[in-house]
């Protein structure tokens, strides 16, 4: 029986694959999608009874991992969008 940490990690990986598969999604949509899929993984873990054997501390660590992954992805997306947008605007001078 998989643990809740494994299920949350799989859900976070699936969310990351979906977000990467989208073509330049807005960061807010990316973050919300990651959080929603992670919560679905948490609900699945609860439904399968995997949370009964896991302490609250481990559960909080797993949720923190998903939150950190989400923040990292949003930061990278923002950095990529800001680099891609430089000098391409209507008012770009000298380019």
- Encode pLDDT of 15-50 as tens digits: 667 766 666 667 777 777 777 777 776 776 676 666
pLDDT of residue 61: 67
Q: Is 95 among the domain residues?
A: no
- Three-state DSSP at 54 gives coil
Q: Is 26 among the domain residues?
A: yes
pLDDT of residue 40: 72
Q: Is 25 among the domain residues?
A: yes
Q: Is 93 among the domain residues?
A: no
Contact 69, 34 (CB under 8 A): yes
CA–CA gap between residue 61 and residue 50 (Å, rounded): 15
- Domain encompassing residue 38: 4-83
Q: Is 90 among the domain residues?
A: no
Q: Is 77 among the domain residues?
A: yes
Q: In the block, which residue shows the tokens 């999608």?
A: 33
Sequence-ordered list of residues with C-beta below 8 angstroms from that of 20, at least 6 positions apart, any chain? none
CA–CA gap between residue 39 and residue 36 (Å, rounded): 5
pLDDT of residue 53: 60
Q: Is 28 among the domain residues?
A: yes
Cβ-count burial 64-74 (b if 16+ within 10 Å, e if not) = eebeebbeebb
Q: Is 91 among the domain residues?
A: no
pLDDT of residue 86: 56
Number of domains in the chain: 1
């Amino acid at each position: 029986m998989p643990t809740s940490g494994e299920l949350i990690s799989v859900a976070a990986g699936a969310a990351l694959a979906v977000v990467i598969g989208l073509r330049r999604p807005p960061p807010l949509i990316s973050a919300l999608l990651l959080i929603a899929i992670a919560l679905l993984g948490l609900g699945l873990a609860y439904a399968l009874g995997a949370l009964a054997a896991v302490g609250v501390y481990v559960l909080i660590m797993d949720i923190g991992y998903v939150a950190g992954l989400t923040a990292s992805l949003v930061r990278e997306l923002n950095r990529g969008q800001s680099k891609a947008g430089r000098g391409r605007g209507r008012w770009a001078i000298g380019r």
